[in-house]
């Protein structure tokens, strides 16, 4: 394999949303620390999975990486360009290279626009084709690329099923020939038989167009299938990162261990023999996260330093990192 080239660099990224009180004079009384200092690299051509439970900040992280939210602290570089300090023209160039696929194929397509208008919008914004005819040909090609018939170009989103809509979303995302895609739960709104279609499409496109994915998901089985490396998030922080087989076979962080033991396995012979770790309680509020290690309130292996000191981000070898006092 060739030396790995870093495409996306995320350095100590923080995104806090202010909590305000008062109607006319708004005072900031606190902050939801949705993403609280995460760092990782994504190599060109790979798929990095970002997993965690709802409210852990994975969607916010994805959106902040693409500058859909202004950043609170930290830097994001995509192909060498600083996303949050770019001039407007540079930001447009970055957006051309980095696109997003959204979770809900029903909410992310304008119901009053035809497929043609939806898929050609990025082409118009980035002025990629000079005339209408060329754009229209490009749209037809894109639809074919994602497995939809070019004849459907003048239909509206409501005429499509969930899986087909997600294909339209994918066509729109790859229209500008990006190199980096943030896929925010692209399959979680779809039925099982349709999920596999969309996942296979994403894999085919990755091969054909040499794409790099940040795959945000809570379905840990699908993440193992599609990703090369996996980062596990809990309450705004990444607690563990490593190659997928390392993470799934030798998880270190007690949260990762518990999360994996809770994943249902579609095979009664295996799943009934398995020892499950059932975590007590719920995720604490990100507006008021626990001191020290954020996980210590639910951790089955909590010990002395956990509620006081924040664990360091440690390299445990072969690209496997963990933030836990046990290691």
Partner 1 sequence: MMDALLDIQDLKVCFHIPEGVVHAVNGISYKLNESETLAVVGESGCGKSVSMLSILGLIPLPPGEILDGKALYRGSNLLAMSEEQLEEIRGKEIAMVFQDPMTSLNPVLTIRRQVTEAFRTHIPMSQEQAETRAIELLDLVGIPDVPQRLREYPHQFSGGMRQRAMIAMALSCGPKLLIADEPTTALDVTIQAQIVELVMRMRDQMGMAVIWITHDLGVVAELADRVIVMYAGFMVEEADVHSLYQDPRHPYTIALLSALPRADRRRDRRLKSIPGAPPSLLVEPRGCPFARRCELVLERCWAENPPLDLCSPNHKIACWVDVKTGKPR
Q: Which residues bind partner 1 (CB under 8 A)?
A: 53-54, 161, 163-164, 191-197, 199-200, 203, 218, 220-222, 224-226, 245, 248, 258-272, 276, 278-279, 281-283
**Nearer Cβ to partner 1 (134/204):** 204
Q: How far is the CB of 216 from partner 1 (least distance, A)?
A: 14
- Per the CB < 8 A criterion, the answer to whether 108 and 100 are in contact is no
**Nearer Cβ to partner 1 (94/259):** 259
**Nearer Cβ to partner 1 (10/198):** 198
Tell me how far apart the alpha carbons of residues 311 and 156 are, in angstroms, rounded to a whole number: 51
**Nearer Cβ to partner 1 (37/55):** 55
Q: How far is the CB of 282 from partner 1 (least distance, A)?
A: 4
Tell me how far apart the alpha carbons of residues 227 and 50 are, in angstroms, rounded to a whole number: 9
Q: How far is the CB of 76 from partner 1 (least distance, A)?
A: 27
Q: How far is the CB of 255 from partner 1 (least distance, A)?
A: 9
Tell me how far apart the alpha carbons of residues 165 and 156 are, in angstroms, rounded to a whole number: 10
Cβ-Cβ contacts under 8 Å for 247 (sequence gap 6 or more): 230, 232, 240, 241, 256, 320
Q: How far is the CB of 27 from partner 1 (least distance, A)?
A: 23
**Nearer Cβ to partner 1 (107/262):** 262
**Nearer Cβ to partner 1 (98/226):** 226
Q: How far is the CB of 209 from partner 1 (least distance, A)?
A: 18
- Per the CB < 8 A criterion, the answer to whether 300 and 255 are in contact is no
For the chain, strand residue ranges (E) read 6-21, 27-43, 47-51, 73-78, 81-82, 98-101, 180-184, 212-217, 229-234, 237-243, 314-315, 321-322
Tell me how far apart the alpha carbons of residues 115 and 149 are, in angstroms, rounded to a whole number: 11
């Amino acid at each position: 394999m060739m030396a790995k080239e870093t495409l996306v660099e995320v350095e100590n990224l923080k995104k806090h949303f202010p909590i305000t009180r008062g109607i006319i004079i708004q005072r900031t009384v606190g902050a939801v620390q949705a993403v609280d200092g995460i760092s990782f690299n994504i190599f060109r051509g790979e798929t990095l999975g970002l997993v965690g439970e709802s409210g852990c900040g994975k969607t916010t992280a994805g959106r902040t990486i693409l500058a859909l939210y202004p950043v609170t602290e930290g830097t994001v570089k995509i192909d060498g360009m600083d996303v949050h300090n770019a001039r407007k023209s540079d930001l447009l160039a970055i957006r051309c290279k980095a696109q997003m696929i959204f979770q809900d194929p029903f909410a992310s397509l304008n119901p009053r626009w035809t497929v043609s208008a939806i898929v050609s919008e990025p082409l118009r914004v980035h002025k990629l084709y000079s005339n209408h005819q060329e754009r229209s040909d490009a749209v037809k090609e894109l639809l074919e690329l994602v497995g939809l018939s070019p004849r459907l170009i003048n239909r509206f989103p409501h005429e499509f099923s969930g899986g087909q809509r997600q294909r339209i979303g994918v066509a729109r995302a790859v229209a500008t020939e990006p190199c980096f895609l943030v896929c925010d739960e692209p399959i979680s709104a779809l039925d099982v038989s349709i999920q596999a279609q969309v996942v296979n499409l994403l894999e085919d496109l990755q091969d054909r167009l040499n794409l790099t994915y940040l795959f945000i998901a809570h379905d840990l089985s699908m993440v193992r299938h599609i990703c090369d490396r996996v980062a596990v998030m809990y309450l705004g922080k990444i607690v563990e990162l490593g190659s997928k087989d390392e993470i799934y076979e030798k998880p270190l962080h007690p949260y990762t261990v518990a999360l994996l033991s809770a994943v249902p396995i579609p095979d009664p012979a295996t799943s009934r023999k398995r020892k499950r770790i059932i975590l007590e309680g719920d995720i604490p509020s990100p507006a008021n996260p626990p001191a020290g290690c954020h996980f210590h309130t639910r951790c089955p292996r909590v010990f002395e330093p956990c509620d006081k000191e924040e664990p360091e981000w440690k390299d445990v070898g072969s690209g496997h990192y963990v933030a836990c006092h046990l290691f």
